[in-house]
Amino acid sequence: MTAGQPRADAAPEVGGRGVRMPRRERREQLLESALGVFVAQGYHAAAMDDIAERAGVSKPVLYQHFPGKLDLYLALLEVAADDVIANCRDALASTQDNRLRVEAAMGVFYSYVADAAGAFRLVFESDLTSEPAVRAQVDRVTSECADLIAAVIHDDTDLPHAESRLLAVSLVGMAQVSARFWLAEHGDTEGGIDLEVASALVSGLAWRGIRGYPLHD
Amino acid sequence: MTAGQPRADAAPEVGGRGVRMPRRERREQLLESALGVFVAQGYHAAAMDDIAERAGVSKPVLYQHFPGKLDLYLALLEVAADDVIANCRDALASTQDNRLRVEAAMGVFYSYVADAAGAFRLVFESDLTSEPAVRAQVDRVTSECADLIAAVIHDDTDLPHAESRLLAVSLVGMAQVSARFWLAEHGDTEGGIDLEVASALVSGLAWRGIRGYPLHD
DNA sequence: TGCGGATGCCGATCTTGACGTCCATGGGTG
DNA sequence: CACCCATGGACGTCAAGATCGGCATCCGCA
């Protein structure tokens, strides 16, 4: 068996076949199963049959909770996007020290990528970017995180809005790409770089880059 | 008509319908048309009918030149990947001054993104990452560019290989993401930031970040 | 110069695979 | 014990990738 196609039906199927369940709880169950399948296979390769099977229900029940495949995907994507944006906001608000802000924000991206559920793949590696609604959510993550960072930069320096925003996007890109590569190369093996070490290293790069700009006051 | 679905059949169709053409030249024509369609619509939304129509031929001729849709996509992707990697290599080799190296490499990414053909979308916004061959090409760009940069970092500092590589990936991520957002926000309008200004700004951020590391000698 | 054959291309077709619905069934309740 | 309804296996449909019979074109020959 090749390692390129991780099968998605290895879940324990907590709510087994034919079990009556409250609608709210079942909806959560379906979302969880769908996340697993979308993360493992991507949007196009994921079949509604797979999702239903993994959730331990049949396809009609799935369609009783979600009008279609796209709606299901968007529901998951929106949650994943809100999650990282909120964490980024909290990280920036957690301190007034900009150096610590950089470290905290970097840690948010690394933790997000390291999360076992793998929801970050919906945001950073989506295969449905041709769909405008998906594109909007994906772009929203970088855009809103960058806005939060840009506000800090703009407050503390003399840089105009547009320039602050471009620098903020650069920092977000640095965090996002490096975190994904860290996961791919060192995330699973024990011989690689630890998450905290990697996050601190890249935080250092980011802080050295951003700290030198002229202060506002 | 909505603006969300840019039609792909607005090309001048240089080799019109039913025109005899040398095989090599026709192949180039097909690749060009395919690139336009894939860039505009993404892999999944792109139909072989669209590509054939844009090239001014019918579907059978398309299949006489390429065994299938995936092969066609991979041919384009490989060229696009080689292109940016080679440019990155040239940029780093163009000088011994690391500051100029950063600026040159950043310029490579911004120029690549600003290119009218839009081949960068195949590399940075592919919607076929579930395909291992595609994933390999896409990752190869970041990986090989990072290797080139990491070699410079490792030569000039005391950082171990793994750390140099992670910093290099961070710089590549910064360039890639910021360039794409620059294009989306300022690339078309005249009121935004100029390419050189944006590239220089982000180069400054990168250089401030990387210059401070302890020199080797 | 007119004609026959061969060549290669286009319109029409087939197939597959996955999304999105319908008839038997089984369990719960009055 | 009979009714009711949620469930699931089986199915229709459709889009898109991948191929086949007419036909126009070109060349060689009398």
Identify the CATH number of the domain in which residue A35 sits: 1.10.10.60
Say whether both A29 and A117 belong to one domain. Answer: no
- Sequential DSSP letters for B41-71: HHHHH--HHHHHHHHTS-HHHHHHH-SSHHH
Say whether both A62 and A84 belong to one domain. Answer: no
Say whether both B201 and B121 belong to one domain. Answer: yes
B71 inside domain: no
Among A10, A37, A66, the domain boundary falls at: A66
Residues of A in contact with B122 (CB under 8 A): none
A14 inside domain: no
Q: Note whether B124 and B180 are within 8 A (CB).
A: yes
Chain B nearest C-alpha distance from A73 (Å): 15
Chain A nearest C-alpha distance from B20 (Å): 35
B216 inside domain: no
Residue (of A168, A113, A179, A167) closest to A145 by Cα position: A168
- The first and second tokens of residue A91, run together, are 């990280």
- The first and second tokens of residue A79, run together, are 């949650």
A132 inside domain: yes
Say whether both B49 and B91 belong to one domain. Answer: no
Say whether both A60 and A86 belong to one domain. Answer: no
Q: Do B174 and A176 touch (CB under 8 A)?
A: no
Burial of B88 (0-12, 13-18, 19+ CB in 10 A): buried
**What does the pLDDT look like over A108-164, one tens digit per residue?**
999 999 999 999 999 999 999 999 999 999 999 999 999 999 999 999 998 999 999
The minimal CB distance from B130 to the residues A44, A172, A202 is found for A44
Closest nt to residue B56, judged CA to C1': C10
CA gap B127, B121 in Å, rounded: 9
| Number of domains chain A contains | 2
Q: Phi/psi of residue A65, each to 5°?
A: -100, -30
Say whether both A92 and A180 belong to one domain. Answer: yes
Q: Note whether A170 and B174 are within 8 A (CB).
A: yes
Cβ-defined contacts of A40-43 (< 8 Å, 24+): A40/A6, A40/A7, A40/A8, A40/A118, A41/A8, A41/B130, A42/A125, A42/A127, A42/B129, A42/B130, A43/A69, A43/A73, A43/A126, A43/A127, A43/A128
Residue in B5, B170, B176 to test binding to A, most A beta-carbons within 10 Å: B170
CA gap B149, B144 in Å, rounded: 9
List the domain range (segments joined by +) for residue A42. 23-66
B92 inside domain: yes
Closest nt to residue A45, judged CA to C1': C18
Say whether both A178 and A103 belong to one domain. Answer: yes
DSSP percent split of chain B into helix, strand, coil, nearest 5: 70, 0, 30
B130 inside domain: yes
Say whether both A152 and A78 belong to one domain. Answer: yes
A177 inside domain: yes
pLDDT band at A191 (very low <50, low <70, confident <90, very high): confident
**What does the pLDDT look like over A27-72, one tens digit per residue?**
888 999 999 999 999 999 999 999 999 998 989 999 999 999 999 9
Chain B nearest C-alpha distance from A205 (Å): 5
Q: Phi/psi of residue B205, each to 5°?
A: -60, -45
Q: Å from B103 (CA) to C19 (C1')?
A: 49
Q: Which amino acid is at A22?
A: P
Residues of B in contact with A44 (CB under 8 A): 44, 127, 130
The answer to whether the C-beta of B18 is closer than 7 A to strand C is yes
Say whether both A27 and A80 belong to one domain. Answer: no
E strand or H helix at B111: helix B98-114
Say whether both A111 and A202 belong to one domain. Answer: yes
Q: What is the pLDDT along chain B (217 residues), one digit of tens a residue?
A: 333 333 333 333 334 455 566 667 778 899 999 999 999 999 999 999 999 999 999 999 999 999 999 999 999 999 999 999 999 999 999 999 999 999 999 999 999 999 999 999 999 999 999 999 999 999 999 999 999 999 999 999 989 999 999 999 999 999 999 999 999 999 887 778 999 999 999 999 999 999 988 766 5
Q: Note whether A161 and A150 are within 8 A (CB).
A: yes
Q: Where are the alpha helices (DSSP H) in A115-131?
A: 120-124
Q: Å from B97 (CA) to D26 (C1')?
A: 62
Say whether both A27 and A117 belong to one domain. Answer: no
Identify the CATH number of the domain in which residue A182 sits: 1.10.357.10
Give the pLDDT confidence score for residue B10 in this predicted structure.
31
B186 inside domain: yes
The minimal CB distance from A166 to the residues B125, B132, B202 is found for B202
Among B40, B66, B92, the domain boundary falls at: B66
Give the pLDDT confidence score for residue B1 in this predicted structure.
35
Say whether both B96 and B200 belong to one domain. Answer: yes
Residue (of A131, A12, A13, A134) closest to A80 by Cα position: A134
